[in-house]
Amino acid sequence: MGLSHAVLIAVILLTCSFSATAAPSNSCLECHQTHYVEQGICAGCHHGNQRTSRKGLAHSGLIRGRYASFTNSRSAEVLSGIQLAEKAACRRCHVLNDTGNRLATNLDSLLWTAQPEAIRSALVNPALYMPIFHFSELDLNRLVTTVLAGGLKAGKALREPPMVVHFSAAESAKQNIFVKNCGSCHKLLSKRDGGLGVGIVGPNLSGLLSKFYPQTFEDNKTWDEEKLKRWLENPRAVRKNAVMRPVPLKPEEWDQLLKTFATS
Ligand code: HEC
Ligand code: HEC
Ligand code: HEC
Ligand code: HEC
């Protein structure tokens, strides 16, 4: 008696679990044809909701075709996006693919926290301390795809809240060494003091003393403390046609400036 009951229960359990694992209905196919079947399910590359045939719901959080290559880290889109990010030196401010300075939002978290179109518009209408790049539509597709790919690699665990960069408008900020001596011509995103300076005639100097800043010192060298010191003493001794004038600093001012440039 006990045994037959147990067998019956086992049979019921098996039947239930079998029907639960039967192929889930894919309602995307009610409106679309399949493609890339061998590379996974629709939602793997496009997100969205496969369990409803209402378009609005099925498309919620949809990743459009132009970004859907993010699941393939060796796709042409992702690879050229990485090159673009390298050239634009996004990593002097952001982490991308697990590398970079943490002065602004970790881009690897955006796959999980932002819509692709919001990532795109952040590049078209950049925040105050992010440079304006003027990317082409095609390059925007590639960069967004690369940012999403970075998120996939980082994994779902990475759900960092967006970074809030503070702007030092306070009276005390006006005494800041960078604001006083450089801020009329340059901007700087500083780990310690947030966004500093308002100038646009000189380059945005965020991350200057880190390896992620473009190698703009003579002969494509990376900037460091000693090179910055040489530059401030006399830019024309470094770059023949430099427009920037020498900025003489007292030793204590130099120390303060270095602290402002620190990225960690
Ligand atoms: C009720 C019909 C319907 C369902 C269900 C549906 N779609 Fe769509 N989908 C459309 C239509 C119609 C378009 C054309 C553009 C538009 O109207 O949004 C479209 C467009 C798309 C696009 C192209 C967008 C672009 O610009 O690249 C993708 C990708 C897509 N759907 C994926 C999916 C996926 C994945 C699912 C399932 C999770 C799904 N769709 C479910 C009707 C549907
Ligand atoms: C391996 C990733 C991948 C999978 C899986 C995948 N797609 Fe796509 N999808 C893409 C890419 C990449 C594009 C961009 C155009 C192209 O490469 O074909 C795209 C484009 C689309 C488009 C837009 C087509 C157009 O011409 O605008 C639709 C609709 C779409 N996919 C629906 C689906 C549906 C439905 C499924 C599930 C049956 C699915 N996709 C599975 C990667 C994928
Ligand atoms: C000089 C520093 C700097 C550089 C270089 C820079 N950004 Fe930004 N970026 C910022 C700041 C500041 C913000 C706004 C505050 C934040 O999100 O941390 C921002 C915001 C963003 C956002 C929106 C983040 C969100 O939370 O929604 C994206 C996406 C982004 N940047 C991508 C890029 C990419 C891609 C590059 C390279 C092409 C780049 N940024 C280069 C400073 C920079
Ligand atoms: C009156 C405007 C002005 C001031 C003030 C100024 N700069 Fe510059 N700076 C420039 C300009 C313009 C450039 C572009 C290169 C050139 O001189 O042609 C530049 C270039 C630079 C560069 C080279 C960056 C690169 O990628 O090529 C560094 C580093 C730099 N400035 C640091 C500073 C620092 C630090 C201060 C303050 C102590 C400062 N600058 C103050 C105008 C200024």
Ligand 2 site-directed mutation target among 30, 39, 46, 55, most atoms within 8 Å of CB: 46
Domains in the chain (CATH in brackets) are 22-62 (no CATH), 67-154 (1.10.760.10), 171-261 (1.10.760.10)
Q: Of ligand 3's atoms, which has the minimum distance to the CA of residue 92?
A: 5
pLDDT band at 1 (very low <50, low <70, confident <90, very high): very low
Tens of pLDDT, residues 195-221:
999 999 999 999 999 999 999 999 999
Tens of pLDDT, residues 104-148:
999 999 998 999 999 999 999 999 999 999 999 999 999 999 999
Residue 161, pLDDT score:
67
Percent of the chain with pLDDT over 70: 85
Residue 167, pLDDT score:
66
2 DSSP assignment = H
| CA pair distance 20, 18, nearest whole angstrom | 5
Ligand 3: residue whose CA is nearest its atom 26: 162
| CA pair distance 182, 162, nearest whole angstrom | 28
Residue 173, pLDDT score:
72
pLDDT band at 20 (very low <50, low <70, confident <90, very high): very low
Name the nearest CA neighbour of 64 among 79, 48, 78: 48
